[in-house]
Amino acid sequence: MKKKRKLWYFSRGSLSKILLKMKLMTFLVLLGLVGSAADSYSQAAKFNLKMHNATVLEVFQQIEENSEFILLYNEKWVDVNRRVDVQVKNETVKEVLDQTFKGTQNVYKIYDRQIVVLKDDKTEVPVDVRNQINESRNLNSGAAQQQKAVAGVITDESGHPLPGVTVLEKGTTNGTVTNTDGEYSLNISASSDTLQFSFIGMQTMIVPVDDRTVINIVMQQETEGLEEVVVIGYGTQRKGSVIGSVDRIETQQLKQPTRTISTSLAGRLAGVVSVQGSGEPGYDGADFWIRGVNTFTGNTSPLILVDGVERDLDNVDPEEITDFTILKDATATAVYGVRGANGVVLITTKKGSIGEPDINLRMENSFSDPLELPDFVDGTTYMTMQNEALGNNGKNPLYSQETIQRTESGFDPNYYPDVNWLDELIDHWTPTQRVTLNVSGGSEKVRYFVSGAFLNQSGMWKSFGGTSYNNNVNVKRYNFRANVDMNITSTTILGVNLAAILEDRNYPGESSGTIFSWVLQTPPTWFPMTYPDESKVPGYPYGMARNPYQLLARSGFSTENHSTVQSNFNISQELDFITEGLSARGLFAFDSYTRANITRSMQPRPYLIIPYGFDEEGNPILQNEEGEYNYQDQEPNSTSYHNYLTRDVEAPYTDRSLYIEATLNYNRRFGQHDVGGLLLYNQSDKTFPSLGGIYESVPQRHQGLTGRVNYAFNQKYFGEFNFGYNGSENFAPGKRYGFFPSAAVGWVPTEESFTDFMKPVIDYMKIRLSHGYVGNDGLNSRFVYLTRVEGTSTNVGFGTNNGYGYGAGSGINITYYGNPDATWERAAKTDLGLEVHFLDNFVLQADGFYEKRDNIWVQLSRVPDIFGFSTKPYANAGEMENMGVDAFLEYSKPINDDLSINFKGTFTFSQNNILANGEEKKKYEYQSAIGQPFGREMGYIAEGLFVDQAEINNSPSQVSIGGESKPGDIKYKDVNDDGIVDQFDRVYMGHPTIPEMTYGFGSNIFFKDFDFSLLFQGAARVSFFANPKAFPEEDRGNVLTVIADSYWSEETQDLDAEFPRLGIGQQTKNYTNSSWWLRNGSYLRLKQIELGYSLPKLALGKYNIDNARIYVNGLNLFTYSPFKWWDPESKSSTGMYYPIQKVINAGVEIKF
């Protein structure tokens, strides 16, 4: 058999800054070697080799010389000079390669007679390589027409011949590859007028044939990484051609031991501000914004698109994702018009590739524990502080010393209880299991990716048993996905994506918020958690108080069933027969979501132990001769209690979405000129069949037309124009459509000859500038141009017994004043970006941005009541600006054959200011929100604690804040110097509640078969009020230890104490928002850490396992913050919330 010609991708000495050292060995296609014989070649070909101390390159050469295999690899990924021993007898190529790569991270994939060697099991086959393989596979199909011969030599810029360049008759699959001398010869049809020359690492060239029979080509090299395909709005571009502000995250970084992807983004992406407020399974997603908050009403969240359709980010299993990209500036988002005002997140799910089935299995088992919980005082301390607080209010002590002593000594915990409610109710290190299995593969005609995942996550509540139900939180999620692509013809691809997400959630009969509320209100001394007779639940009448244990374990349970079905049907058609580079695509998507909730409630009667009497010494007699307690029903005449489960079914909720998209795309190269264009039409329709309201019964609809034109000259100068023309139902006829254009330019200075002086340091530099407009119709309501007249029970001027606003009874009223002039929020965005590759191993990308948004939909509080409005009207009267910078710096370097490292840091700073908000003119300018950042709160300025009555008498009156002051109360500043501290002395203070600064930094280290990674994530310039209060009523309210540890008292008179004097009741004077309670919410967190080990491949080969890796990782393991009371990210004012969880996880991933 004639030996294949070899295709080498080699370095050129003058371009050592890039070193794209990839060697490709292409094959001679024979018509008789297709079909089933080709599929079995890797098993049929046998080798007999005995090589000692040979280089990897020599092994590759032996494989190629003794078979029809070709090898494709990147020398930055494969050490071809490494010495190995290979000894096989009548073995397949897999055994040869297993021995060759023993002790390394390298993996390989076999595609018929082509073998691709990758860096590790996380590395995907590059798109360019896949395309090269597919092109080579199809070279035989055009052999029928041989009417004209063309030939030539292909060289690089230095004149060196290029072997292995793919030469195609454009618009067909007829082609060939150059030999080792760069020579080619190809028979093409007489009517053919164009040839395409492509080679990995070089710029693809489209060359007219004209009447020539000899066509010699000089190919130009691409810069490393810039040929990478980047997902952008409604399409893809080469990374080197992108001039919008775009950032990506490696999908491996999304595979964290958490249910939600949104909680994995913090610190990993420049421009993303993320806050997680709860760790409760099912409700543990994070809120996140792209470049901060840009509006103060309506929708502030980014648009999330999964495979081009708006969907829930946290419903996607990370193993299904192949690309995760965020679009930040107007150029990147303008094509989405109305929907892209707050940035866009693009998620692309995996597709199949040509080859034998690849099976991937991942199994994990993790344990979760609350990140931080506040501590409460014991019963003795509680009673002592309660008596002190009563004394400060001029009341007698509630607890006798005898009661305090009996509680402390444990006289009888059932009558003198001392309960730490958090310790009793919360479990630690609760388990979660996750299993994912996916299979991908296919042929030239059909490619598939099929995935299934299961998650079983438990909450932190203790499971007490004794009932027929589980009182703990539990979430079971099932993810299914099947993506299939079919080549109907050589130019037509039909794609079908089907997905289903099922969630079964279990919760206590009462919400976690209610349980935490009563943990905060219930003293440790009210009653024990349980009694010896478990049929008697301790507690007061429900109207007075609730037993936290009863709320958790004896209130029943609720179930939530969430079902989501998603489907995409798309067809792509190349239209080269019309003009080269033209293609069309159609997409139809149908999604359906259903939620059904059932609550099964239980309300057992509350009991307290009552003494049978008292002995001669006054001690209570608590048990009779049989050792039984005297349980007393606290509400014997009530019929509302029941010790059995009732059933309450919430009406099911359903929504259905239809999405249609039609695209015409054009991309073509004319010598050094690259021209592209896009024209797209889309419309969406969302219905709510289960809702009966007049507005819900009308489908939500959007419609849009999008266009893009982009141009590049010599990959040096770039220009792009985008527009979105969108329609929305929210506005009156004649005002429903908005036009949102954007423009961008880019320049690569390093391609200029006059910048050669930078070359020793700077390998590549791109400067880009964009400006454009985006719109937002996500206001506070639908159909904002319509006035609503609705039934009401309030006093109104119409209706029986309700004339002219008098009397009581039903009537009608105007509940919303429509505004016929309502229109789009409109944001003008400007972005200046810089991308620099320097010192061989560094990449820096930085963007400065400014956005001004006007026409923000706000309620006009300045409208006088004399106008007679029953509710304040709305108008497009708001304005806001947002500015800042986001950047990342990445460093990657292989130290030696065994060690390589990677470091990446991200930084985001965004600061907004309210320019107009429709508010009434303030009496004092400093109380106006104009000029303030959104989310910055108001409070009084605290000047310390009052020392004594004399200081109180000589200070401005503070009676309007909760009455007369006493020593130990907080002293406030009289800002307006009117001698009275009141509402007009409140000022804006601190930073917003959403961080203005976020950052992250981490590293990946690979040493032989070990890998290690970590990520630190932090936030700064964020504030919130934390003012936990003791004793909101007499003998009510748990007390935090932080209060007991540092408060002002008559004995200590500690003016530096963290808490003022103890009081009873609302205590407005001391616990209103003020600088005393303003806290710095900044923090630095060890977000993720992982250690992995890849098992030796030689040992796995006998089990037909390509790769196996075991790993352990942790999430949220450590937090540093100046705020010590509880987790600052929660921004809780009391510390009573379902905390974020820290996680320790162990797993294994196996690839067959």
Greater confidence (606 vs 164) lies with 606
Long-range pairs of 808-812 with CB within 8 A, sequence gap ≥ 24: none
Q: What is the mean pLDDT of residues 1046-1069?
A: 93
pLDDT of residue 136: 54
Query: Is a pLDDT exceeding 70 seen at residue 78?
Result: yes
pLDDT of residue 128: 61
**Angstrom distance (rounded) from CA 622 to CA 1087:** 52
Query: Is a pLDDT exceeding 70 seen at residue 145?
Result: no
Indicate the range of 47-61, 543-557, 784-798 predicted with least confidence: 784-798
HSE of 126, CA atoms in CB hemisphere, 13 A? 22
Query: Is a pLDDT exceeding 70 seen at residue 25?
Result: no
Query: Is a pLDDT exceeding 50 seen at residue 143?
Result: no
Q: What is the mean pLDDT of residues 264-293?
A: 91
Query: Is a pLDDT exceeding 50 seen at residue 706?
Result: yes
pLDDT of residue 210: 82
pLDDT of residue 662: 95
Query: Is a pLDDT exceeding 80 seen at residue 225?
Result: no
pLDDT grade for 498, boundaries at 50, 70 and 90: very high
Query: Is a pLDDT exceeding 80 seen at residue 409?
Result: yes
Per-residue model confidence as pLDDT tens digits over 948-982: 999 999 999 999 998 999 999 999 999 999 999 99
Per-residue model confidence as pLDDT tens digits over 111-133: 777 888 988 877 777 766 666 66
Contact 726, 341 (CB under 8 A): no
Indicate the range of 616-625, 653-662, 856-865, 947-956 predicted with least confidence: 856-865
Reported in sequence order, the residue ranges of 307-354 that DSSP labels E, i.e. its strands, are 309-310, 321-327, 344-349
In this structure, the strands spanning 1023-1025 and 1078-1080 are antiparallel
pLDDT of residue 158: 67
Indicate the range of 328-332, 365-369, 445-449, 1076-1080 predicted with least confidence: 328-332
**Angstrom distance (rounded) from CA 330 to CA 708:** 13
- Token pair, residue 266, equals 């913090």
pLDDT grade for 919, boundaries at 50, 70 and 90: confident
In this structure, the strands spanning 344-349 and 446-458 are unpaired
What separation in angstroms does the CA of 830 have from each of 37, 725, 827, 833? 58, 20, 10, 10
Q: What is the mean pLDDT of residues 450-466?
A: 93
Per-residue model confidence as pLDDT tens digits over 1070-1104: 999 999 999 999 999 999 999 999 988 777 877 88
Greater confidence (190 vs 361) lies with 361
Indicate the helix (H) or strand (E) that contains 215.
none
Contact 933, 992 (CB under 8 A): yes
pLDDT of residue 979: 94
pLDDT grade for 141, boundaries at 50, 70 and 90: very low
pLDDT grade for 239, boundaries at 50, 70 and 90: low
Query: Is a pLDDT exceeding 60 seen at residue 8?
Result: no
pLDDT of residue 578: 94
Query: Is a pLDDT exceeding 60 seen at residue 223?
Result: no
**Angstrom distance (rounded) from CA 379 to CA 526:** 9
Give me the chain's average pLDDT, please: 86
pLDDT grade for 18, boundaries at 50, 70 and 90: very low
For the CA atoms of 348, 353, 357, 358, what is the dihedral angle to 10 degrees? -50
pLDDT grade for 928, boundaries at 50, 70 and 90: very high
pLDDT of residue 898: 85
Query: Is a pLDDT exceeding 60 seen at residue 22?
Result: no
What sign results for the dihedral spanned by CA atoms 30, 36, 40, 44? negative
Give the strand order in the sheet containing 246-249.
246-249, 321-327, 344-349, 303-306, 309-310
Query: Is a pLDDT exceeding 90 seen at residue 1117?
Result: yes
Q: What are phi and psi of 638, to 5 degrees?
A: -80, 140
pLDDT of residue 968: 95
pLDDT of residue 241: 65
What sign results for the dihedral spanned by CA atoms 622, 625, 627, 633? negative
Query: Is a pLDDT exceeding 50 seen at residue 672?
Result: yes
In this structure, the strands spanning 70-74 and 22-24 are antiparallel
pLDDT of residue 860: 86
Indicate the helix (H) or strand (E) that contains 685.
strand 673-687
Q: Select from 462, 426, 593, 606 the least CA-distant residue to 526.
A: 606
Query: Is a pLDDT exceeding 90 seen at residue 6?
Result: no
Per-residue model confidence as pLDDT tens digits over 795-847: 544 444 444 444 455 667 788 888 999 998 888 999 999 999 999 889 999 99
pLDDT of residue 502: 97
pLDDT of residue 929: 93
Domains of the chain: 13-218 (2.60.40.1120)
Reported in sequence order, the residue ranges of 917-1055 that DSSP labels E, i.e. its strands, are 937-939, 942-945, 970-972, 987-989, 997-1007, 1010-1020, 1023-1025
Per-residue model confidence as pLDDT tens digits over 375-403: 999 999 999 999 999 999 999 999 999 99
Indicate the range of 124-133, 181-190, 464-473, 1118-1127 predicted with least confidence: 124-133
Query: Is a pLDDT exceeding 80 seen at residue 29?
Result: no
pLDDT grade for 618, boundaries at 50, 70 and 90: confident
Reported in sequence order, the residue ranges of 383-429 that DSSP labels E, i.e. its strands, are none
User: pTM for the complete prediction?
Assistant: 0.80
Q: Select from 602, 502, 644, 616 the least CA-distant residue to 562.
A: 502
